[in-house]
Structure formats: C-alpha cells, structure tokens
Chains A and B, each alone.
Chain A
Amino acid sequence: MTAARPALPDRHPSEAPPPAVMTAAATAAGPRAVAALDGVVVAYRDRVVLRGVDLAIAAGERVALVGPNGAGKSTLLRVLAGLVTPSSGTVTLGGDPVATLDRPAIARRLAAVPGQVTFPFSARVEEIVALGRLPHEDPFRGPRAADRAAVDAAIARVGIERLRGRDARELSLGERQLVLVALAVAQAAPLLVLDEPTVHLDLRHQVAVMELLADLNEQGGTTVLAVLHDLALARHFFPRLAVLDGGRIVADGPPDRVLSRERVRAVFGVDVALTGGPPGR
C-alpha cells in the first residue's frame, strides 16, 4: 500500500541564508500535515535552542533531519512529541495542536524510536516489542488478540524473527536497534520518528536500518522523520533533507540541492564534496 506522495514544489524554501522565517512550508504540505512546526522557539533561561523553526511533513514522506552537534535536532524531536513546550510557535500532529493532545493521543500519532536504551531487567525480544502496543492496550485486561497479532506482524516486518525468545540484553547494538524499531512499528502510528538510530552501529546494521525505514515508508506508507548525523547515509536513503543549524532550518529539500559543497562548508565547517547516487535507490 503506497500512499500518494506529494511532489516537492519548486518554490520549496531552501537556500536562503538565515534568518528566514518560512511559513510557506506548512502551507505547502497541506493543512493536515502529519506533523508541522510553525515558528517554534524553544528558549531556556540561559540559551535559545530553537529560533523559529518551520518544518512540515506530509503523509508518506521520508525526511532526514541533519545538522551539526548542538543544532537542536533532538530538541526539535522532543518538541514534536510534546515533551518540550515551545516558548512560542505552534506544533501540530495530524492537524491538531500538540498542546491539546494528551499523551495517549500523541502516542497514537507519533511513535518514537529512542537512540539509547538500557534494560534494567532481562526481557525477551517479543516482550520489548509488545510494549509498542501500550497505547492500544486495555488498561486493565492488557493485550488482546489484535495486539498480539500486531506484535507478530511487527517482528516479521522488521525481519527479526530469528531473535524471538532471546534476552534483549544479550543482543548486539544493531539487533537492539532493530528491536526498538519493531516496537515502534507495533505502535502503528502514522509517523515514525527516530533520533540518531545508527549511532554505534556497524555498517551492515546501519544499512539494514536505513533499508528498513525506506521499506516501511515506501511499502507501508509510514511517514518517517529521522535525525541523522551521517550525511552520506542521509543523502543516500532520504529523498528530503532538512538542515538545522543554530536553531533554524536553513535548508529543506532534495539532498542534491541541500547538500551542495558550499552548504556543507557553511553549516558543518568542513570542505567536502558528497557523492553518491540520487535518493531512492
């Protein structure tokens, strides 16, 4: 089932140097964008992390959020998930402001795959994946047949059948990441958000995760937003990149346009030319 993906408009805001408040983004993606940030400012007592972020994600998109360390990428994700309240600006999920949604409602619209997770107790893989059904479970009776079926489907979808019955603490980092993705898949939310899912992974697992995301997006219609530090991976696997620098989106569009050599030098402070095939293998 492939959701119709809207073509990226030519007037997509991108190369304009900061600061440029861009409200066109929200309008471009449509009023019921899966997720949208509009002029979001996040300021703490001593510093400002996000200085007016505009980002809109339509259903079925696959977006990578890149930027140097400290740019505010993780904060952006947390704002989206309603964990951080912006000082100004609006955040919407599925068209509704996050501030009006309670946590279970948010959980049904957004599934987040955490980057680093520790397991204080030993738990089997399928028990971890089953946690993804929490927002759907009956609070008293617990998981029902539909929930169990969803868990099985998620495990199959992510391709970790061979890990069934294993203690999650004994898995390699790459395998753990896949388990956490399966958890998010089981959650069956329209938007999947990942925060640096490929940290510490070897190349094989990095590629596996990226291909899985592409598969979920293209075959399953899940909207994906991933924070990545690896530009090469982002460029290769994601048709749309948003560059966050100094608390603002300074570029947003296809990798070729966004990751030009000048842009990379300006944002990341290093002079490299990124090569590789176009997105969508």
Chain B
Amino acid sequence: MTIGGRTLALARLRGRRPAGRLHPAALAVVGLAALAAAVVLGVGAGSVALAPGDTLGILLRAAGLPLEQTWSAAAETIVLELRLPRVLTAVVVGGGLAVAGATFQGLLRNPLADPYVLGTASGAALGAAIAVLIPVRVALLDLGLLNALAFAGGLAAVAVVYRLGRGGPLAPLTGLLLTGYAVGSLLAAGLAMTMYLSGANLRQIFAFLLGGLEGSSWLRLAMTLPLVVGGSLAILARARALNGLLLGEEAAAHLGVDVRRERGILLGLATLVTAAAVAISGLIGFVGLVAPHLVRLAVGPNARHVLPLAAILGAVLLVCADLVARLLGEIPVGVVTAVIGAPFFLALLRTARGGYEL
C-alpha cells in the first residue's frame, strides 16, 4: 500500500503543475492510514512466521480486549517484546528524522539539507566509536555507553559548529554550512582513527554507522519518545518563524522574525531530535532528506503542513525499510534507505523544475 502510494507520488511529480497541490488534511488522513497499515504489517512479519490471526489477537489482547490466548508464550513475546517496540521505534525515529530534516531545510534554505548536515552524524559516530573503545560496560535503563556518547557527540558537534560558524565574514547560513562541513570532516577523521584502533570491536562501530533498530525495547522507546516528540512539537509551534525564513534571513527580519533567536532555538531543537534518534538507531540516512522533500512537493512550503506530514511520511518510510531489512536477513536499515532513497532522489532531481536556487 505504501509502495503504491509512493509510486503515485512519483507519478504526480512527473506531471506536476503547481495547481495540483494536495489538501493537507486529506493527505494526513491517507498518511495515517498508511502508517497504521505499515505498523500492522511490520509487527506481523519477521523471521519467525506467525499466523496473522495470532498477531492481531496478541495486539488486541494487549490493548485490553478480553480475548482467549490461543497462541504460545513465545509468539506473544515475539510480538509484544521484540516486534512492537521495534516498529514503534521506527515510527518515532522516522518521524523525528523527517521533522529535523524539514527544519534544517527551512533553516538553511537548502532543499538538500538533511538532519546530519551540521556535523551531527560525525559527532554521534565518533561518540559511539569512543564508547566502543572504552572497556567499560554500563547500562542504565537499557541505554548503554554507546547510546549516551552518541547522543552527547551529536549535540556537541553541532554546538561547536554553531559557535564557530557564527560571526566571521561570511553570511550566517553560509558560515554554518561550511563550518559544518569542516567540523564534520575533522570528526570523520577522528572516527577513522578510532575505528583503526578498535580491533575486534570494529563490527560494533560499523553496525552503528549503518543504522539499525535491532536493539529496540520498550525502555529505550520510553527514553527517546519524549525527546523526539517533545522536540518536534516545539518545532511545530515555531512554524511561523520557519515560514518567515523562506525568503531569507533579512526578509524574515522584516516580517517580524527575531532571526538570531529563532535560528538558535530551531537549530537546537532539530539537533536534539536528531541526536535522540541517532542515539538509539545509529545513522539512518535519506529519511530526513526525502520525506520533507516529497511532502513539500505535494502541499507547498508552509511549515505548518510540511512538519506533521513529513513526520508521518518519515515514519511510514522507516517502518517499511525496517521490514525490508528484517526480511532480507537483518541487513542494516541504513543500507535499505540508501538503496531506495538514492535512485529516488536522482529521479527527483531530474524531474525537478528550474533547478535549485540557493
């Protein structure tokens, strides 16, 4: 269903006229339905075959319906302890990455921006790699040193980029982008060195870099959910400022936006959401880039519509990608999103009108 939906979007894209804008509310309803379907599909499929009736029964009984237990305890554990938290984590991470991506695209006025553009990826990866090297095994509430340092690394990287990128002779946006690139490269070098020294733990670092939802659990979800959802809602509340930035920072100022303040707040919130997502699921690419892009093509650049719809689409994309990753033998989900996302993105670039003005 979702694959069909994406094909439909592509078809609309090719024959697109600006007049063919979709109604945001209608799109939201369709998106939520697709999301529900994807979640059920995701919970019903996996390496152990379960009867669909059993899966549905387990879910309904967990939701409170008084049903007879006609399935094994193992099946219930698989659905409720393994698959359901994993699928819901995909929903949260996919939605969060999409919202963060939409925010960065609006902030930096760059349709090619993704949540990692200012060094979050490199910072988180370096944090994770250092955690793997440290021979200490700590786990607090299902979150290990790896998650904590990945989170901290992502935040720290952007903080550094923000401090260094401001001031200076360049326009603020350009400065941020270029500093992000430079700091990201430096961190990547640090990461390479750490990987070189990691020896037997290289696989763990690699697994983080490629992104994966294998470690999902209810506890982890409970830790990440408030950060991602709270951050996303806070960004949505500032949609007005994001809209103002559409024509540039100076135009936004003329429209009454306190540009410096909003830029800092939006940057901070988007980075928080990204870092929280990356901390539990590694570096999953393309979701944060493609989802807001597609939504913008369908409903226009109004952030009040783009943010929630992108979240829904991002969630659907990641749930489906994770399902594919699981069925293909637990390949890293970042590989799936890249394999699907890259050609899709190329198609997008070819059919886009008028190129991109930056």
Binding site for B on A (CB under 8 A): 81, 83, 102-108, 110-112, 114, 117-124, 127-128, 131-132, 134-135, 137, 139-140, 142, 165-167, 169-170, 187
Q: Which residues of B contact A127 (CB under 8 A)?
A: 300-302
Which segment of B124-132, B153-161, B203-211, B248-256 sits at the interface? B248-256
CB closest chain-A residue, reference B297 = A122
Q: Which residues of A contact B246 (CB under 8 A)?
A: 119-121, 123, 128, 131
Q: How far apart sit A103 and B109, CA to CA, in the bound complex (Å)?
A: 21
Choose one: A123, A124, A187; the contact of B255 (CB below 8 Å): A187
Task: List the 3 closest pairs (A to B, CB-CB), nearest first.
Answer: A107-B256, A135-B256, A104-B256
CB A178 to nearest CB in B, in angstroms, measures 15
* A81 and B254 contact, CB distance less than 8 A: yes
CB A175 to nearest CB in B, in angstroms, measures 14
Name the interface residues of B340-358: CB closer than 8 Å to any CB of A. 353-354, 356-358
* A134 and B248 contact, CB distance less than 8 A: no
* A118 and B250 contact, CB distance less than 8 A: no
Choose one: B247, B258, B297, B358; the contact of A131 (CB below 8 Å): B247
Q: Which residues of A contact B238 (CB under 8 A)?
A: 139
CB A45 to nearest CB in B, in angstroms, measures 12
B interface, how many residues as a size bin? 35 or more
Kindly list 12 other residue pairs between chains A and B, CB separation below 8 angstroms, not including A120-B110, A131-B243, A142-B240: A83-B253, A107-B255, A117-B251, A120-B111, A122-B18, A122-B353, A124-B18, A132-B255, A134-B243, A134-B255, A135-B255, A142-B239
CB A154 to nearest CB in B, in angstroms, measures 14
B86 within 8 A of A: no
10 pairs of residues in contact across A and B, judged by CB atoms under 8 Å: A81-B253, A103-B258, A111-B254, A114-B250, A120-B111, A120-B246, A121-B111, A134-B257, A140-B237, A165-B19
CB closest chain-A residue, reference B304 = A142
Q: Which residues of A contact B6 (CB under 8 A)?
A: none
Choose one: B110, B237, B240, B358; the contact of A137 (CB below 8 Å): B240
CB B168 to nearest CB in A, in angstroms, measures 14
* B255 and A118 contact, CB distance less than 8 A: no
Q: Which residues of A contact B251 (CB under 8 A)?
A: 112, 114, 117
Q: Which residues of A contact B109 (CB under 8 A)?
A: 118, 120
Q: Which residues of B contact A108 (CB under 8 A)?
A: 256
* B254 and A102 contact, CB distance less than 8 A: no
Q: Which residues of A contact B255 (CB under 8 A)?
A: 107, 131-132, 134-135, 187
Q: Which residues of A contact B300 (CB under 8 A)?
A: 122-124, 127
Binding site for A on B (CB under 8 A): 18-19, 21, 105, 109-111, 237-240, 243-244, 246-248, 250-251, 253-258, 296-297, 300-302, 304, 353-354, 356-358
CB A91 to nearest CB in B, in angstroms, measures 15
Q: Which residues of A contact B105 (CB under 8 A)?
A: 120-121
Q: How far apart sit A211 and B151, CA to CA, in the bound complex (Å)?
A: 57
* A110 and B254 contact, CB distance less than 8 A: yes
Q: A107-B254, A132-B255 in contact; A123/B243 too (CB < 8 A)? A: no
Q: Which residues of B contact A81 (CB under 8 A)?
A: 253-254
Choose one: A106, A110, A123; the contact of B301 (CB below 8 Å): A123
Q: Which residues of B contact A134 (CB under 8 A)?
A: 240, 243-244, 255-257
Q: Which residues of A contact B21 (CB under 8 A)?
A: 124
CB closest chain-A residue, reference B244 = A134
CB A195 to nearest CB in B, in angstroms, measures 10
* A131 and B244 contact, CB distance less than 8 A: yes
Q: How far apart sit A83 and B21, CA to CA, in the bound complex (Å)?
A: 36
Q: Which of A102, A131, A169 has the most chain B CB atoms inside 10 A of its CB?
A: A131
Q: How far apart sit A119 and B354, CA to CA, in the bound complex (Å)?
A: 11
Q: How far apart sit A119 and B250, CA to CA, in the bound complex (Å)?
A: 14
* A106 and B256 contact, CB distance less than 8 A: yes
Choose one: B19, B250, B256, B296; the contact of A121 (CB below 8 Å): B296
Q: How far apart sit A29 and B239, CA to CA, in the bound complex (Å)?
A: 40
Q: Which residues of B contact A120 (CB under 8 A)?
A: 105, 109-111, 246, 356-358
CB B166 to nearest CB in A, in angstroms, measures 16
CB closest chain-A residue, reference B301 = A121
Q: Which residues of B contact A135 (CB under 8 A)?
A: 255-256
Q: How far apart sit A170 and B352, CA to CA, in the bound complex (Å)?
A: 12
* B357 and A119 contact, CB distance less than 8 A: yes
* B301 and A83 contact, CB distance less than 8 A: no
CB A181 to nearest CB in B, in angstroms, measures 13
Q: Which residues of B contact A102 (CB under 8 A)?
A: 258
Q: How far apart sit A107 and B358, CA to CA, in the bound complex (Å)?
A: 25
Q: How far apart sit A207 and B130, CA to CA, in the bound complex (Å)?
A: 65
